[in-house]
Amino acid sequence: MKLRLGARGSALSLAQANWVARFLAGRAEVDIMTIRTTGDRLSAAGSPIEWKGDFTKELDLALLEGRIDFAVHSLKDVPSSLPQGLELAAVPLREDPSDVLVSQPRRTFGELPPGARLGTSSPRRRAQLLAARPDLQISEARGNVDTRLRRLQEGKWDAIVLARAGLARLGRVSEVCDVFSTEILLPAVGQGALALISRTEDRSTREALSRIDHAGSHREVLAERSLLVTLQAGCHAPVAARARVAGTELTLEAGVFAKDGARVLRDSASGPVEEAESLGRGAAERLLARGAAKLLQETSP
């Protein structure tokens, strides 16, 4: 069968689309169609992204209009609620979701000098980094991965924080100087995972994509997204989560943070993989009982 795959025009999105196409080889012939999104235009202009759906809405429309058969996204860019008629058809094997440090010159996080300039546009990363190192100067770092790496080399910052998965898909893992443990930096919900979105009514495409769905990775992101939905947290909220499936068990670490890192709320849960979503909800409810709603309200724009 032939399938039309919609992807953004960024180097990372195209790398992800080509990876999916190779993974489907022998099952389907995939034509990659590039669709520029609002998020791409804002990112290129150095403007802030107000809603993570800015990276997905044009692809959603192309799906609903039948111009493509499925779309690929970094799952952390996918809003918690999909448009009616679309569904998360598959989550392939997840990359390591860790955050990593890239510095110039090469240093680990602990080796950064007092007052070092660290670039990130993520409130989640900012909050946790300041909790660990309040001496750091955190500044905005917008643009795609290539842009941020180039600006680092130009001396705009002493270091930047990126997702290891993106560097892995671009073949640039060698530039990693340090990998953050979850004790210092919990990743974003869905980080490291790909989301393959299709039309609910398109059974043949859903069936083709189901063959590359990784059950453990899918359960992990269901737990994390359930946490996010229950917290009613927006895309700028400093919320983090890391679910892990080992055999029949799922464990979840979760956190909500003050934007300056001065207050940290963490929770953990474990249970059968079949209860992934309820484990996420339970962790969120416990965080809310300890004041997460007030903390999230204080960090809203």
Structure confidence at residue 233 (pLDDT): 83
Structure confidence at residue 83 (pLDDT): 92
Structure confidence at residue 45 (pLDDT): 46
pLDDT digit string, tens, across residues 185-229: 999 999 999 999 999 999 999 999 999 999 999 999 999 999 999
- Does position 165 have pLDDT exceeding 70, yes or no? yes
Structure confidence at residue 51 (pLDDT): 45
* pTM for the structure as a whole: 0.90
Domain 226-299 has CATH 3.40.50.2300: no
Q: What is the mean pLDDT of the chain?
A: 91
Catalytic residue among 54, 77, 99, 202: 77
Same fold, 2-92+193-213 and 99-179: yes
In CATH, which superfamily holds the domain spanning 99-179? Periplasmic binding protein-like II (3.40.190.10)
The long-range contacts involving 141-146, CB below 8 angstroms and separated by at least 24 positions, are: 142/43, 142/46, 142/47, 142/48, 143/43, 143/44, 143/46, 144/10, 144/11, 144/12, 144/43, 145/11, 145/12, 145/170, 145/172, 146/11, 146/170
Alpha-carbon distance of 105 to 45, in angstroms, equals: 28
Structure tokens at 35: 């669709």
**Pairing verdict, β 178-179 and 70-74:** unpaired
Q: Which residue has the tokens 């059968």?
A: 272
In this predicted model, which residue has the larger pLDDT, 27 or 236?
Answer: 27
- Does position 93 have pLDDT exceeding 70, yes or no? yes
- Confidence band, pLDDT 50/70/90 cuts, at residue 11: confident
Least confident of 38-42, 244-248, 268-272: 38-42
Segment 270-299 mean pLDDT: 94
Q: Where are the domains of the chain?
A: 2-92+193-213, 99-179, 226-299
In this predicted model, which residue has the larger pLDDT, 23 or 109?
Answer: 109
Record: fold of 2-92+193-213: D-Maltodextrin-Binding Protein; domain 2 (3.40.190)
- Confidence band, pLDDT 50/70/90 cuts, at residue 54: low
- Confidence band, pLDDT 50/70/90 cuts, at residue 43: low
Least confident of 46-55, 89-98, 242-251: 46-55
Catalytic annotation on 267? no
Structure confidence at residue 3 (pLDDT): 97
